[in-house]
Amino acid sequence: MVDRIAKDAGVDFDDCYQCGKCTAGCPMAHAMDLVPRQVIRYLQLGLPDKVLAAKTPWICANCMTCSARCPQGVDIDKVMLAIRHLAKKKGMQPVREADVFDDAFVGNIRNYGKSNEAVLAVKYNLKSGHLMQDALNAPKMAARGMIGLKIHKVNDRDAVRKLVDRCLKGNG
Ligand code: SF4
Ligand code: SF4
């Protein structure tokens, strides 16, 4: 599994010398159960189960700061994505809300060619079980025109759908 993650991310884990620059610059490190440096270390040690079960790849914002800061060119952002895809394939959901949101967001783009906040919120709230999450804010947001019931679609939805399907296939 370590080889699969390395191949999908296009990295060599032996390049990492554990300097910690990735972790020092990560804006989400405070919320992670394994910081980026530890994720790489577990993979160096041949312990993929530790990272597949971790919340970290699902909390990662994919901002790429770690990848930009790494003196060894280890693309940690891609490692996080590769772990996420592999965990999902194995039916693991360490942070269920993140997975539900991902699916709702990608489904929204696939169906309409763009994101519709109201549809996204309804799908996410229903599937995540947070039914009342936006109950107080939604009317205020609607009154200010921040969300609406009209569903916006791009003209060539088929082209976007094919693009999304190609990306999803690439993650398979
Ligand atoms: S910045 Fe690069 S070399 Fe340093 S710990 Fe992170 S991955 Fe390893
Ligand atoms: S891509 Fe993820 S792990 Fe890297 S700095 Fe951003 S939030 Fe942290």
Gap between the Cα atoms of 68 and 14, Å rounded: 18
Gap between the Cα atoms of 166 and 131, Å rounded: 32
Please tell me the number of the ligand nearest to residue 18's CA: 1
Residues 107-122 have pLDDT tens digits of: 989 989 988 887 888 8
CA-19 nearest atom, ligand 1: 4
Residues 18-62 have pLDDT tens digits of: 999 999 999 999 999 999 999 999 999 999 999 999 999 999 999
State which of 40, 58, 63 you would mutate to test the pocket of ligand 2, scoring each by most atoms of that ligand within 8 A of its C-beta. Answer: 63
Q: What angle, rounded to 10 degrees, do the helices at 96-112 and 117-128 form?
A: 140
What is the distance in A from the centroid of ligand 1 to the CA of 117? Answer: 37
For residue 172, pLDDT beyond 60:
no
Is the CB of 70 inside a 6 Å radius of any atom of ligand 1?
Answer: yes
For residue 128, pLDDT beyond 60:
yes
Is the CB of 51 inside a 6 Å radius of any atom of ligand 2?
Answer: no
More confident residue, 55 or 168: 55
Phi and psi based region of residue 81 (left: phi greater than 0; alpha: psi -120 to 50; beta: remaining): alpha
Is the CB of 20 inside a 6 Å radius of any atom of ligand 1?
Answer: yes
Gap between the Cα atoms of 128 and 99, Å rounded: 9
